[in-house]
Amino acid sequence: MYLANKKFTKNKSIKMATKLNFTFIQTLVLILGCCAYMLIFFYRYTPTVLTKQLSEALNVPEDKISIFGSMYFWTYAVMQPIGGVLGDVISPGKMIALFTIISGIGSITMGQSSNFILSCAARCLVGIGCGPIFVPVTRILANWYSPRGYALANGILLAMGSVGGCLAQGPLSSLCEIIDWRWAFRLSTIVGVIVAVLCFFLLKTKPADFGFDEYENLDNKPINAHNFSSVDASEGAYGGKVSVFGQLIKNLGIVLRTPQFYVFVVWDLFSPPTFYNLTALWASRYLQDVMMIEKKSADYMILILSLAMIIGSPLWPFLSNIFHSRRWVLFASTLIGFLCSLAFVFIRKNIGTVLVLILLFLFAAGSNANITIVNALVKETNHATAATMLGCANFFPFFATGLLQIASPELIHLADGDWSKPGHSPRAYALGLWLPNAIFTGIAVVASIFIKETYGKKPEVTTYN
């Protein structure tokens, strides 16, 4: 099995108890990381099913909720490079705990507010808290799992994040019919505090922090955990005496001199934002307006998007291991997302719920579930600055999503030609939502061709000095 270490050596002998202890802690690290990441997706997608409630409570038109929703993505984007740089130099467990608390403060503020401006500010705070969490989680996983195991562990992480997205869709819609919608934010804050406490005390950067001296991965090659561990204030990741600030600048400089970084940026700018914009804002409304499905049923049907993430996130890395290629699996999966977007451009009437749900599933799998492959490519491009590169690259999809969430209502209204009616026509969705999606994902397909293959390459082949 990819996720389990095949051999574990301590004091030159293999002990079953030690092996079991390592596997248990390794699994615990993954579970806690998944819990923190699930909260991110829950916060991200809540506006999708709470649009009407938020509109009424904040006394603004429903289309203005897109501004409220975008506040999360702006601050989330800004925090990506900050989180990435910090992720290379401070303890990930404490970092995850701190920012989970910050997002919880923003969440409970939203649950108490009746003012649109204050709610937008609270939404910004949620984005600030959620932004830096993904990078330290992936860095911890990189320390605890073998190279092949990391790709699958990262897939499981994104899949479980999508479970959080599932909870923010149909189940949240049903819950808010029973209790006041504000309690959804209050309860999520309570869960966040619990997760933060557990992460603070139990999430350790590397196996050595638990007393394990050395271990071998599935490929029988020792993992250089030092490359992923926190940088000491007096010892740089590259040797020699450097300050933490000096190490930050050095890492950032290496990332900016890495040609592949800019190819990753292009893919990140044009593929994931199409998925985030659809899932966080338009999916349920599209099914209601075009497929004539009532709201509660539509809120449950958009679970298909999260299901695609749950299945696709671990599936694409698995296929890349089977075919011994990350680049071409990324190319093929992104092409699927592009073709589905193009198909939606030509849908101008109800063509059947099943067919639309299949297209939505494939679109999600091809536009964002494959980001697990990109994450593996980033990690394998430069081990020593993986967190910095991942954080810097992750700025772009969320920045672009913020732009899309502001622009897409305007584009849809423009295609509709009628700014007064509450719903939108199939033509408006085709030209205002899906045509931009097709253009964006088409650019991402081209970008994927220029990504350098890293599967099976030795670190020195893909490390830039």
Mean local confidence (pLDDT), 226-234: 38
According to the model, what pLDDT value does residue 104 have?
95
Mean local confidence (pLDDT), 399-407: 91
Mean local confidence (pLDDT), 35-64: 88
Tens of pLDDT, residues 293-330: 998 899 899 999 989 988 998 899 889 989 999 999 99
Topology of domain 16-227+238-461 in CATH is: Growth Hormone; Chain: A; (1.20.1250)
According to the model, what pLDDT value does residue 268 have?
95
- Of the ranges 121-125, 150-154, 298-302, 419-423, which one carries the lowest mean pLDDT score? 419-423
According to the model, what pLDDT value does residue 261 have?
92
Q: Which of 303-307, 334-338, 389-393 has the highest mean pLDDT?
A: 334-338
**pTM for the full model?**
0.75
According to the model, what pLDDT value does residue 264 have?
94
**Sequence ranges of the domains in the chain:** 16-227+238-461
Tens of pLDDT, residues 263-283: 999 999 999 999 999 998 899
Tens of pLDDT, residues 145-179: 887 788 788 878 988 888 998 898 888 888 888 88
Q: How far apart are CA 281 and CA 48, in angstroms?
A: 5
pLDDT at 381 over 70: yes
Q: How far apart are CA 126 and CA 104, in angstroms?
A: 7
According to the model, what pLDDT value does residue 225 have?
40
According to the model, what pLDDT value does residue 212 have?
74
According to the model, what pLDDT value does residue 420 have?
64
- In the structure, what pLDDT confidence band is assigned to residue 458 with cuts at 50, 70 and 90? low
Contact status, residue 462 vs residue 382, Cβ threshold 8 Å:
yes
Tens of pLDDT, residues 202-219: 988 888 887 776 554 434
According to the model, what pLDDT value does residue 138 have?
85
Contact status, residue 89 vs residue 6, Cβ threshold 8 Å:
no
Mean local confidence (pLDDT), 46-61: 87
Q: How far apart are CA 120 and CA 113, in angstroms?
A: 10
According to the model, what pLDDT value does residue 62 have?
80
